[in-house]
Amino acid sequence: MNALVISIGSNVVLGIVLLAVLYRRRGPDEARLADPDEALMHYRAFDPAARGSATLASDGRAALIELDGGGLGLVERRGRRWAARSLDAGELVGLDATADGAITLRFADFGWPRAQLRVAEPEVRGHWLDRLEALRAVAGSRVRREVHDA
Amino acid sequence: MPDPIYMKIALLVQLLLLLLIPLEAALAAAGKIKGEYELRDTLANIGVSVGSLFFWGTLSWLYFGAVLYAYHHRLYHIPFTGWSFAIVFVLEDLRYYWFHRISHRSRWFWASHVVHHSSQHYNLSTNLRQSWTSQFSGLTLLGMPLAYLGFNPALVAFAFTLNLIYQFWIHTESVDKMPRWFEWLLNTPSHHRVHHASNPRYLDANYAGVFMIWDRLFGSFVAERADEPPRYGIVKNLGTFNPIRIALHEYYAIARDLQRSDLTLWHRIGYFFGPPGWSHDGSRATTEELRAAAASVPA
Protein backbone atom coordinates (compact mmCIF):
# COMPACT_ATOMS: atom_id res chain seq x y z
CA MET A 1 0.00 0.00 0.00
CA ASN A 2 2.84 2.33 0.91
CA ALA A 3 4.50 1.59 -2.41
CA LEU A 4 1.29 2.34 -4.26
CA VAL A 5 0.81 5.68 -2.50
CA ILE A 6 4.43 6.68 -3.07
CA SER A 7 4.21 5.59 -6.69
CA ILE A 8 1.07 7.59 -7.46
CA GLY A 9 2.33 10.62 -5.53
CA SER A 10 5.72 10.67 -7.19
CA ASN A 11 4.16 10.22 -10.63
CA VAL A 12 1.91 13.21 -10.04
CA VAL A 13 4.84 15.34 -8.83
CA LEU A 14 7.03 14.31 -11.77
CA GLY A 15 4.20 14.97 -14.20
CA ILE A 16 3.71 18.46 -12.81
CA VAL A 17 7.46 19.17 -12.99
CA LEU A 18 7.57 17.95 -16.59
CA LEU A 19 4.60 20.03 -17.67
CA ALA A 20 5.98 23.09 -15.86
CA VAL A 21 9.29 22.71 -17.73
CA LEU A 22 7.49 22.40 -21.06
CA TYR A 23 5.14 25.28 -20.30
CA ARG A 24 7.97 27.64 -19.37
CA ARG A 25 10.06 26.62 -22.36
CA ARG A 26 7.37 26.72 -24.98
CA GLY A 27 7.74 29.27 -27.73
CA PRO A 28 5.61 30.32 -30.68
CA ASP A 29 5.42 27.91 -33.58
CA GLU A 30 6.70 29.94 -36.51
CA ALA A 31 6.46 27.19 -39.11
CA ARG A 32 4.66 28.19 -42.31
CA LEU A 33 4.44 26.54 -45.70
CA ALA A 34 6.78 28.47 -47.97
CA ASP A 35 5.21 27.41 -51.25
CA PRO A 36 3.02 24.72 -52.88
CA ASP A 37 6.06 22.50 -53.43
CA GLU A 38 6.66 22.33 -49.72
CA ALA A 39 3.00 21.41 -49.16
CA LEU A 40 3.31 18.61 -51.71
CA MET A 41 6.50 17.42 -50.06
CA HIS A 42 4.64 17.05 -46.76
CA TYR A 43 1.76 15.30 -48.53
CA ARG A 44 4.17 12.75 -49.97
CA ALA A 45 4.94 11.63 -46.44
CA PHE A 46 1.41 10.22 -46.56
CA ASP A 47 1.31 9.24 -50.25
CA PRO A 48 4.84 8.82 -51.62
CA ALA A 49 3.82 8.80 -55.30
CA ALA A 50 1.49 11.82 -55.11
CA ARG A 51 1.67 14.38 -57.90
CA GLY A 52 -0.50 17.45 -58.18
CA SER A 53 -0.88 21.06 -57.12
CA ALA A 54 -1.38 22.75 -53.77
CA THR A 55 -3.34 25.77 -52.58
CA LEU A 56 -1.87 27.29 -49.45
CA ALA A 57 -4.07 28.62 -46.66
CA SER A 58 -3.71 32.33 -46.02
CA ASP A 59 -1.67 31.77 -42.87
CA GLY A 60 0.55 29.10 -44.46
CA ARG A 61 -0.42 26.52 -41.85
CA ALA A 62 -2.49 24.30 -44.10
CA ALA A 63 -2.85 23.45 -47.77
CA LEU A 64 -5.41 21.78 -49.96
CA ILE A 65 -3.99 19.36 -52.49
CA GLU A 66 -5.39 18.54 -55.93
CA LEU A 67 -3.89 15.31 -57.14
CA ASP A 68 -3.23 14.62 -60.80
CA GLY A 69 -5.52 11.59 -60.64
CA GLY A 70 -8.44 13.75 -59.49
CA GLY A 71 -8.22 13.07 -55.76
CA LEU A 72 -8.01 15.67 -53.04
CA GLY A 73 -5.80 15.93 -49.99
CA LEU A 74 -5.01 18.09 -47.03
CA VAL A 75 -1.83 19.12 -45.25
CA GLU A 76 -2.29 20.73 -41.86
CA ARG A 77 -0.07 21.93 -39.05
CA ARG A 78 -0.85 19.87 -35.96
CA GLY A 79 1.06 21.03 -32.92
CA ARG A 80 4.63 21.37 -34.15
CA ARG A 81 4.41 18.82 -36.93
CA TRP A 82 2.83 18.59 -40.36
CA ALA A 83 0.18 15.96 -40.91
CA ALA A 84 -1.42 14.93 -44.20
CA ARG A 85 -4.49 13.00 -45.24
CA SER A 86 -6.58 12.31 -48.30
CA LEU A 87 -10.04 13.85 -48.55
CA ASP A 88 -12.25 10.90 -49.37
CA ALA A 89 -15.88 11.02 -50.31
CA GLY A 90 -17.07 8.84 -47.46
CA GLU A 91 -15.23 10.72 -44.76
CA LEU A 92 -16.14 14.36 -45.31
CA VAL A 93 -19.33 14.73 -43.30
CA GLY A 94 -19.44 18.46 -42.72
CA LEU A 95 -18.31 21.60 -44.48
CA ASP A 96 -18.71 25.09 -43.09
CA ALA A 97 -17.63 28.24 -44.90
CA THR A 98 -17.83 31.71 -43.42
CA ALA A 99 -17.55 35.20 -44.87
CA ASP A 100 -14.05 35.75 -43.56
CA GLY A 101 -12.72 32.91 -45.71
CA ALA A 102 -12.58 30.23 -43.04
CA ILE A 103 -13.38 26.69 -44.16
CA THR A 104 -14.07 24.03 -41.56
CA LEU A 105 -14.03 20.40 -42.60
CA ARG A 106 -15.54 17.69 -40.39
CA PHE A 107 -14.57 14.09 -40.92
CA ALA A 108 -16.08 10.76 -39.99
CA ASP A 109 -12.65 9.90 -38.71
CA PHE A 110 -12.22 9.39 -34.99
CA GLY A 111 -8.51 10.13 -35.24
CA TRP A 112 -8.89 13.36 -37.22
CA PRO A 113 -12.33 14.82 -36.53
CA ARG A 114 -11.92 18.28 -38.04
CA ALA A 115 -9.66 20.63 -39.91
CA GLN A 116 -9.80 24.35 -40.34
CA LEU A 117 -8.10 26.64 -42.81
CA ARG A 118 -8.60 30.05 -44.29
CA VAL A 119 -8.49 30.81 -47.98
CA ALA A 120 -8.74 34.56 -48.46
CA GLU A 121 -9.03 34.80 -52.24
CA PRO A 122 -12.73 34.46 -53.11
CA GLU A 123 -12.09 32.81 -56.48
CA VAL A 124 -9.79 30.18 -55.08
CA ARG A 125 -12.09 29.58 -52.12
CA GLY A 126 -15.07 29.14 -54.41
CA HIS A 127 -13.20 26.59 -56.49
CA TRP A 128 -12.34 24.60 -53.39
CA LEU A 129 -15.83 24.79 -51.96
CA ASP A 130 -17.16 23.38 -55.23
CA ARG A 131 -14.72 20.47 -55.05
CA LEU A 132 -15.48 19.79 -51.41
CA GLU A 133 -19.24 20.00 -51.93
CA ALA A 134 -18.91 17.36 -54.62
CA LEU A 135 -17.49 15.06 -51.95
CA ARG A 136 -20.44 15.90 -49.75
CA ALA A 137 -22.81 14.78 -52.47
CA VAL A 138 -21.33 11.30 -52.23
CA ALA A 139 -21.22 11.24 -48.45
CA GLY A 140 -24.67 12.78 -47.98
CA SER A 141 -23.09 15.09 -45.47
CA ARG A 142 -24.15 18.37 -44.00
CA VAL A 143 -22.98 21.54 -45.70
CA ARG A 144 -23.37 25.03 -44.41
CA ARG A 145 -22.07 27.54 -46.88
CA GLU A 146 -22.83 31.00 -45.69
CA VAL A 147 -20.94 32.77 -48.41
CA HIS A 148 -19.96 31.53 -51.81
CA ASP A 149 -18.46 34.44 -53.61
CA ALA A 150 -16.59 32.72 -56.41
CA MET B 1 1.94 -6.09 5.85
CA PRO B 2 5.25 -4.72 4.53
CA ASP B 3 5.71 -4.35 0.79
CA PRO B 4 7.74 -7.19 -0.72
CA ILE B 5 11.30 -6.26 -1.68
CA TYR B 6 10.72 -6.66 -5.41
CA MET B 7 7.92 -4.09 -5.19
CA LYS B 8 10.34 -1.63 -3.63
CA ILE B 9 12.96 -2.31 -6.29
CA ALA B 10 10.39 -1.95 -9.06
CA LEU B 11 9.20 1.32 -7.53
CA LEU B 12 12.74 2.67 -7.28
CA VAL B 13 13.54 1.76 -10.89
CA GLN B 14 10.28 3.28 -12.08
CA LEU B 15 10.99 6.51 -10.22
CA LEU B 16 14.51 6.75 -11.60
CA LEU B 17 13.27 6.17 -15.13
CA LEU B 18 10.43 8.66 -14.84
CA LEU B 19 12.86 11.24 -13.49
CA LEU B 20 14.67 11.01 -16.80
CA ILE B 21 11.67 12.41 -18.69
CA PRO B 22 11.68 15.95 -17.22
CA LEU B 23 15.47 15.82 -17.27
CA GLU B 24 15.51 15.02 -21.00
CA ALA B 25 12.87 17.70 -21.63
CA ALA B 26 14.89 20.32 -19.78
CA LEU B 27 18.18 19.40 -21.46
CA ALA B 28 16.57 19.28 -24.90
CA ALA B 29 14.91 22.65 -24.34
CA ALA B 30 18.28 24.08 -23.30
CA GLY B 31 19.87 22.69 -26.46
CA LYS B 32 22.22 20.44 -24.50
CA ILE B 33 20.98 17.24 -26.13
CA LYS B 34 19.06 16.38 -29.27
CA GLY B 35 15.35 16.05 -28.74
CA GLU B 36 12.07 17.90 -28.84
CA TYR B 37 9.10 17.97 -26.52
CA GLU B 38 5.79 19.61 -27.26
CA LEU B 39 3.41 20.48 -24.46
CA ARG B 40 0.25 19.13 -26.10
CA ASP B 41 1.95 15.96 -27.28
CA THR B 42 3.35 15.26 -23.81
CA LEU B 43 0.00 16.03 -22.20
CA ALA B 44 -1.56 13.52 -24.59
CA ASN B 45 1.09 10.96 -23.62
CA ILE B 46 0.27 11.46 -19.94
CA GLY B 47 -3.47 11.24 -20.63
CA VAL B 48 -3.05 8.03 -22.59
CA SER B 49 -0.86 6.56 -19.84
CA VAL B 50 -3.58 7.21 -17.24
CA GLY B 51 -6.06 5.23 -19.34
CA SER B 52 -3.52 2.54 -20.05
CA LEU B 53 -2.76 2.07 -16.35
CA PHE B 54 -6.46 2.00 -15.55
CA PHE B 55 -7.23 -0.73 -18.08
CA TRP B 56 -4.10 -2.67 -17.18
CA GLY B 57 -5.07 -2.51 -13.52
CA THR B 58 -8.63 -3.62 -14.11
CA LEU B 59 -8.08 -6.20 -16.86
CA SER B 60 -4.65 -7.70 -16.19
CA TRP B 61 -6.39 -10.65 -14.49
CA LEU B 62 -7.16 -11.84 -18.03
CA TYR B 63 -3.43 -12.20 -18.73
CA PHE B 64 -2.55 -13.62 -15.34
CA GLY B 65 -5.52 -15.97 -15.45
CA ALA B 66 -4.42 -17.37 -18.81
CA VAL B 67 -0.81 -17.77 -17.71
CA LEU B 68 -1.76 -19.41 -14.40
CA TYR B 69 -4.10 -21.76 -16.23
CA ALA B 70 -1.26 -22.79 -18.55
CA TYR B 71 1.09 -23.24 -15.60
CA HIS B 72 -1.46 -25.38 -13.82
CA HIS B 73 -1.34 -27.77 -16.80
CA ARG B 74 2.44 -27.45 -17.30
CA LEU B 75 4.46 -30.10 -19.08
CA TYR B 76 7.54 -29.92 -16.87
CA HIS B 77 8.60 -28.49 -13.56
CA ILE B 78 11.45 -26.07 -14.28
CA PRO B 79 13.26 -24.99 -11.10
CA PHE B 80 13.73 -21.36 -10.16
CA THR B 81 17.47 -20.89 -10.83
CA GLY B 82 19.81 -18.41 -12.47
CA TRP B 83 19.95 -20.57 -15.58
CA SER B 84 16.20 -20.91 -15.83
CA PHE B 85 15.91 -17.14 -15.50
CA ALA B 86 18.50 -16.59 -18.26
CA ILE B 87 16.65 -19.00 -20.54
CA VAL B 88 13.25 -17.50 -19.81
CA PHE B 89 14.61 -13.99 -20.38
CA VAL B 90 15.75 -14.92 -23.89
CA LEU B 91 12.58 -16.88 -24.68
CA GLU B 92 10.41 -14.08 -23.33
CA ASP B 93 12.25 -11.68 -25.64
CA LEU B 94 11.52 -14.01 -28.56
CA ARG B 95 7.86 -14.02 -27.52
CA TYR B 96 7.95 -10.23 -27.41
CA TYR B 97 9.41 -10.11 -30.94
CA TRP B 98 6.52 -12.12 -32.39
CA PHE B 99 3.92 -10.34 -30.29
CA HIS B 100 5.31 -7.07 -31.63
CA ARG B 101 5.56 -8.25 -35.22
CA ILE B 102 1.97 -9.54 -35.25
CA SER B 103 0.89 -6.25 -33.65
CA HIS B 104 2.21 -4.44 -36.71
CA ARG B 105 1.10 -6.87 -39.40
CA SER B 106 -2.52 -7.55 -38.55
CA ARG B 107 -5.01 -4.70 -38.26
CA TRP B 108 -6.95 -5.98 -35.23
CA PHE B 109 -3.74 -6.12 -33.20
CA TRP B 110 -2.43 -2.94 -34.82
CA ALA B 111 -5.56 -1.15 -33.59
CA SER B 112 -4.29 -1.79 -30.08
CA HIS B 113 -0.61 -1.10 -30.70
CA VAL B 114 -0.95 1.93 -33.02
CA VAL B 115 -1.45 4.07 -29.92
CA HIS B 116 2.23 3.76 -29.07
CA HIS B 117 3.24 4.88 -32.57
CA SER B 118 0.79 7.73 -32.98
CA SER B 119 3.00 10.54 -31.72
CA GLN B 120 4.99 12.51 -34.29
CA HIS B 121 7.56 13.16 -31.58
CA TYR B 122 10.08 10.71 -30.23
CA ASN B 123 11.31 11.16 -26.71
CA LEU B 124 11.24 9.39 -23.36
CA SER B 125 7.66 10.50 -22.75
CA THR B 126 6.63 8.40 -25.77
CA ASN B 127 6.99 5.46 -23.38
CA LEU B 128 3.86 6.68 -21.62
CA ARG B 129 1.70 6.38 -24.75
CA GLN B 130 0.62 2.74 -24.39
CA SER B 131 -2.35 0.69 -25.50
CA TRP B 132 -5.60 0.61 -23.58
CA THR B 133 -6.75 -2.65 -25.08
CA SER B 134 -3.76 -4.99 -24.98
CA GLN B 135 -5.46 -7.16 -22.36
CA PHE B 136 -8.30 -8.21 -24.62
CA SER B 137 -6.74 -8.02 -28.08
CA GLY B 138 -5.93 -11.71 -27.71
CA LEU B 139 -2.17 -11.48 -28.05
CA THR B 140 -1.68 -11.92 -24.31
CA LEU B 141 -2.26 -15.60 -25.06
CA LEU B 142 1.30 -15.61 -26.37
CA GLY B 143 2.32 -15.46 -22.72
CA MET B 144 0.93 -18.95 -22.13
CA PRO B 145 3.51 -21.23 -23.84
CA LEU B 146 6.35 -20.42 -21.44
CA ALA B 147 4.13 -21.13 -18.44
CA TYR B 148 2.85 -24.30 -20.15
CA LEU B 149 6.44 -25.45 -20.58
CA GLY B 150 6.87 -25.13 -16.83
CA PHE B 151 8.47 -21.75 -16.21
CA ASN B 152 7.09 -20.15 -13.06
CA PRO B 153 4.68 -17.32 -14.03
CA ALA B 154 6.42 -14.99 -11.55
CA LEU B 155 9.69 -15.63 -13.37
CA VAL B 156 8.03 -14.98 -16.74
CA ALA B 157 6.43 -11.78 -15.44
CA PHE B 158 9.76 -10.62 -14.03
CA ALA B 159 11.50 -11.26 -17.37
CA PHE B 160 8.75 -9.33 -19.16
CA THR B 161 9.10 -6.44 -16.70
CA LEU B 162 12.86 -6.30 -17.24
CA ASN B 163 12.25 -6.37 -21.00
CA LEU B 164 9.96 -3.35 -20.78
CA ILE B 165 12.33 -1.51 -18.44
CA TYR B 166 15.14 -2.05 -20.96
CA GLN B 167 13.00 -0.53 -23.69
CA PHE B 168 12.52 2.72 -21.78
CA TRP B 169 15.90 4.27 -22.59
CA ILE B 170 15.76 3.55 -26.33
CA HIS B 171 12.93 6.06 -26.87
CA THR B 172 15.24 9.01 -27.34
CA GLU B 173 16.95 11.08 -30.00
CA SER B 174 19.66 12.13 -27.57
CA VAL B 175 21.75 9.00 -28.14
CA ASP B 176 23.14 8.64 -31.64
CA LYS B 177 24.88 5.26 -31.91
CA MET B 178 26.22 2.82 -29.36
CA PRO B 179 29.45 0.82 -29.91
CA ARG B 180 29.29 -1.51 -32.90
CA TRP B 181 29.06 -4.74 -30.88
CA PHE B 182 26.24 -3.24 -28.84
CA GLU B 183 24.34 -2.15 -31.96
CA TRP B 184 24.73 -5.64 -33.41
CA LEU B 185 23.50 -7.51 -30.36
CA LEU B 186 21.03 -5.27 -28.60
CA ASN B 187 18.18 -2.91 -29.33
CA THR B 188 19.35 0.70 -29.27
CA PRO B 189 17.88 4.19 -29.71
CA SER B 190 19.05 4.14 -33.34
CA HIS B 191 17.31 0.85 -34.12
CA HIS B 192 14.15 1.89 -32.32
CA ARG B 193 14.02 5.28 -34.05
CA VAL B 194 13.74 3.31 -37.27
CA HIS B 195 10.92 1.29 -35.74
CA HIS B 196 8.99 4.47 -34.87
CA ALA B 197 9.55 6.07 -38.28
CA SER B 198 6.97 6.27 -41.05
CA ASN B 199 9.45 6.67 -43.92
CA PRO B 200 8.54 3.84 -46.34
CA ARG B 201 12.08 2.44 -46.08
CA TYR B 202 11.72 2.12 -42.31
CA LEU B 203 8.16 0.78 -42.06
CA ASP B 204 7.58 -2.52 -40.25
CA ALA B 205 11.16 -3.01 -39.14
CA ASN B 206 13.10 -3.63 -35.94
CA TYR B 207 10.51 -5.31 -33.75
CA ALA B 208 13.03 -6.40 -31.12
CA GLY B 209 12.56 -5.80 -27.43
CA VAL B 210 16.07 -6.41 -26.11
CA PHE B 211 18.01 -8.65 -28.50
CA MET B 212 18.39 -7.38 -32.04
CA ILE B 213 19.27 -10.87 -33.20
CA TRP B 214 15.59 -11.73 -33.75
CA ASP B 215 15.26 -9.04 -36.42
CA ARG B 216 18.49 -10.16 -38.05
CA LEU B 217 17.33 -13.78 -37.93
CA PHE B 218 13.81 -13.21 -39.23
CA GLY B 219 14.69 -10.59 -41.86
CA SER B 220 13.11 -7.50 -40.35
CA PHE B 221 16.24 -5.55 -39.50
CA VAL B 222 16.73 -2.11 -41.09
CA ALA B 223 19.60 0.18 -40.13
CA GLU B 224 19.13 3.89 -39.56
CA ARG B 225 20.67 5.93 -42.36
CA ALA B 226 22.35 9.27 -41.87
CA ASP B 227 20.92 10.49 -45.20
CA GLU B 228 17.34 9.66 -44.24
CA PRO B 229 16.32 10.96 -40.82
CA PRO B 230 13.34 9.16 -39.31
CA ARG B 231 9.98 10.86 -39.68
CA TYR B 232 8.14 9.78 -36.55
CA GLY B 233 4.50 8.81 -36.39
CA ILE B 234 2.24 6.71 -38.56
CA VAL B 235 1.57 6.86 -42.30
CA LYS B 236 -1.72 8.67 -41.78
CA ASN B 237 -1.00 10.78 -38.75
CA LEU B 238 -3.66 11.82 -36.30
CA GLY B 239 -5.32 15.21 -36.26
CA THR B 240 -5.97 15.23 -32.54
CA PHE B 241 -4.29 15.27 -29.14
CA ASN B 242 -7.36 13.83 -27.40
CA PRO B 243 -6.24 10.69 -25.49
CA ILE B 244 -9.56 8.88 -26.05
CA ARG B 245 -9.38 9.44 -29.78
CA ILE B 246 -5.71 8.43 -29.80
CA ALA B 247 -6.46 5.21 -27.95
CA LEU B 248 -9.49 4.09 -29.94
CA HIS B 249 -9.32 5.64 -33.42
CA GLU B 250 -8.31 2.50 -35.30
CA TYR B 251 -11.15 0.45 -33.80
CA TYR B 252 -13.53 3.11 -35.06
CA ALA B 253 -11.94 2.90 -38.50
CA ILE B 254 -12.31 -0.90 -38.55
CA ALA B 255 -15.95 -0.60 -37.53
CA ARG B 256 -16.60 1.90 -40.33
CA ASP B 257 -15.00 -0.38 -42.88
CA LEU B 258 -17.03 -3.35 -41.73
CA GLN B 259 -20.26 -1.35 -42.03
CA ARG B 260 -20.01 -1.27 -45.82
CA SER B 261 -22.71 -3.31 -47.45
CA ASP B 262 -20.75 -4.29 -50.58
CA LEU B 263 -18.21 -6.54 -48.86
CA THR B 264 -17.88 -10.30 -48.99
CA LEU B 265 -16.96 -12.31 -45.92
CA TRP B 266 -13.36 -12.50 -47.12
CA HIS B 267 -13.27 -8.72 -47.54
CA ARG B 268 -14.46 -8.33 -43.95
CA ILE B 269 -11.83 -10.74 -42.70
CA GLY B 270 -9.27 -8.75 -44.67
CA TYR B 271 -10.32 -5.48 -43.05
CA PHE B 272 -10.21 -7.12 -39.65
CA PHE B 273 -7.08 -9.25 -39.73
CA GLY B 274 -5.30 -8.15 -42.90
CA PRO B 275 -2.26 -5.90 -42.79
CA PRO B 276 -2.87 -2.22 -42.01
CA GLY B 277 -3.58 -0.40 -45.28
CA TRP B 278 -5.21 -3.42 -46.91
CA SER B 279 -8.41 -2.66 -48.83
CA HIS B 280 -10.67 -4.81 -50.99
CA ASP B 281 -10.52 -2.37 -53.91
CA GLY B 282 -6.86 -1.37 -53.70
CA SER B 283 -7.76 2.18 -52.70
CA ARG B 284 -5.30 2.14 -49.80
CA ALA B 285 -1.68 1.12 -49.53
CA THR B 286 0.01 -1.49 -47.39
CA THR B 287 3.60 -1.17 -46.26
CA GLU B 288 4.83 -3.11 -49.28
CA GLU B 289 2.82 -0.92 -51.65
CA LEU B 290 4.04 2.28 -49.98
CA ARG B 291 7.61 1.07 -50.31
CA ALA B 292 7.09 0.26 -53.98
CA ALA B 293 5.48 3.66 -54.57
CA ALA B 294 8.36 5.45 -52.86
CA ALA B 295 10.89 3.47 -54.89
CA SER B 296 9.14 4.42 -58.13
CA VAL B 297 9.53 8.14 -57.44
CA PRO B 298 12.73 9.56 -58.92
CA ALA B 299 14.98 11.14 -56.31
Kindly indicate whether the ipTM for this predicted assembly is greater than 0.90, answering yes or no: no
Please name the amino acid found at residue B241. F
CA distance A94 to chain B (A): 16
Quickly state the pLDDT bin for B113 (edges 50, 70, 90): very high
- Give me the torsion for CA of B89, B93, B94, B96, rounded to 10°: 140
Q: Which domain covers residue B201, as residue numbers? A: 4-218
Chain A nearest-CA residue for B290: A48
Distance between CA atoms of residues B156 and B142, nearest Å: 12
Q: Residue A51 half-sphere exposure, CB side, CA atoms within 13 Å? A: 8
pLDDT at B29 over 80: yes
pLDDT at A143 over 50: no
In a domain, B81, yes or no: yes
pLDDT at B109 over 80: yes
How many beta carbons lie within 10 A of that of residue A136, not counting itself? 18
pLDDT at A38 over 80: yes
Q: What is the pLDDT of residue A146?
A: 44
Quickly state the pLDDT bin for B7 (edges 50, 70, 90): low
Q: What is the mean pLDDT of chain A?
A: 86
Condensed to tens digits (0 to 9), the pLDDT of residues B129-165 reads 999 999 888 888 898 999 999 999 989 988 998 999 9
Please name the amino acid found at residue A142. R
Q: What is the pLDDT of residue A142?
A: 46
Residues of chain A found within 8 Å of residue B241, distances taken between Cβ atoms: 79
Among A2, A14, A110, the residue with its CB nearest the CB of B18 is: A14
Chain A nearest-CA residue for B121: A81
Q: What is the pLDDT of residue B133?
A: 95
Q: Do A112 and B285 touch (CB under 8 A)?
A: no
Quickly state the pLDDT bin for A22 (edges 50, 70, 90): confident
Quickly state the pLDDT bin for A150 (edges 50, 70, 90): very low
Condensed to tens digits (0 to 9), the pLDDT of residues B231-258 reads 999 999 999 999 999 999 999 999 999 9
Quickly state the pLDDT bin for A55 (edges 50, 70, 90): very high
Residues of chain A found within 8 Å of residue B42, distances taken between Cβ atoms: 18-19, 22
Q: Do B238 and A78 touch (CB under 8 A)?
A: yes
DSSP conformation class of B188: -
A111 in reach of chain B (CB within 8 A): yes
Buried b (16+ CB within 10 A) or exposed e, B148-183: bbebbbebbbbbbebbeeebbbbbbbeeeebeeeeb
> Which three-class secondary structure string do you get for B224-236?
CECCECCCECCCC
Q: Are strands A142-145 and A92-97 parallel, antiparallel or unpaired?
A: parallel
In a domain, B64, yes or no: yes
- Domain ranges in chain A? 36-149
Just give the CATH number of A36-149.
Answer: 2.30.29
pLDDT at A141 over 70: no
Q: What is the pLDDT of residue B256?
A: 95
Distance between CA atoms of residues B66 and B147, nearest Å: 9
Instruction: Please give the tally of structural domains in chain B.
Output: 1
Question: Please, where are the H alpha helices in B106-173?
Answer: 107-117, 144-149, 153-168
CA distance A121 to chain B (A): 26
pLDDT at A50 over 80: yes
DSSP class per residue in A93-144: EEEEE-TTSEEEEEES-TT--EEEEE---HHHHHHHHHHHHHHHHHHT-EEE
**Which candidate, B108, B135, B119, places its Cα nearest to that of B45?**
B119
- Rounded to a whole number of angstroms, the CA Rg of chain B reads 20
pLDDT at B216 over 90: yes
In a domain, B265, yes or no: no
